[in-house]
Amino acid sequence: MSTKFNYQTSFILDKSHFSECFDQSITEQTLWVKYRKVVILAIVGLLLLFVVGTNHYAAFFVVGLSAIEALSIYYQKTWWLWRQMLSKAYNHTVEIIVNDESITIKSFHVNSEMSFENITQCEEKESGLLLTHLKSRNYISKSCLSDEAIDFIKSKSD
């Protein structure tokens, strides 16, 4: 008879954890894909300004939107980290429970459970595991998991 697996640990959601999550879960895109919306907005704004001859305020507004979009892409990580650090979960303890049926993540603000049946992909990254389930993705850092827990999650997800 096999023994049931049960692993429990906790960590604090701090800036280094959020930075690791961002770095490991971001999908790389080509320059064109990243800045496609910026180029389209700039072209539409310039066309409104020089060709159509509409209200100049509207044309400058669209050109300004393209500049803001370009800045949001350039400072994507900084912006994302800033939003996470403003959240109410920042600097709070998170508890992870891994058992035979699921991975449960508990904190003061959020309680979620990922059943192994619903996990469609487990991608091992350099510093953690990227779990895809039910149209969403969760990142779990290896720094808060034991080697046995990592192996168990990978075996149950396959």
DSSP per-residue letters across the chain:
-PPPPEEEEEEE--HHHHHHHHHHHPPP--HHHHHHHHHHHHHHHHHIIIII---HHHHHHHHHHHHHHHHHHHTHHHHHHHHHHHSTTTT-EEEEEEESSEEEEE-SS-EEEEETTTEEEEEE-SSEEEEEETTEEEEEEGGGS-HHHHHHHHHHH-
Contact 94, 18 (CB under 8 A): no
Model-level pTM? Answer: 0.78
Tell me which CATH code domain 6-14+91-157 carries.
2.30.29
Q: Which residues pair with 137 in a beta bridge?
A: 132
What Rg do the C-alpha atoms of the chain give, in angstroms?
22
Q: Dump pLDDT digits (tens) for 68-90.
A: 999 999 999 999 999 999 998 89
Phi, psi at residue 148, to the nearest 5°?
A: -65, -40
Going by C-alpha positions, the residue among 33, 31, 57, 35 that lies closest to residue 45 is 57
Mean pLDDT across the stretch 97-109? 90
Contact 46, 71 (CB under 8 A): no
Residue 1: CB atoms within 10 Å: 3
Is the confidence at residue 1, as pLDDT, over 50? no
Q: Which residues pair with 102 in a beta bridge?
A: 115
What is the pLDDT at residue 109? 84
Going by C-alpha positions, the residue among 81, 86, 133, 66 that lies closest to residue 105 is 133
What is the pLDDT at residue 26? 87
Mean pLDDT across the stretch 12-31? 90
Phi, psi at residue 2, to the nearest 5°?
A: -85, 150
Mean pLDDT across the stretch 45-69? 89
Is the confidence at residue 2, as pLDDT, over 70? no
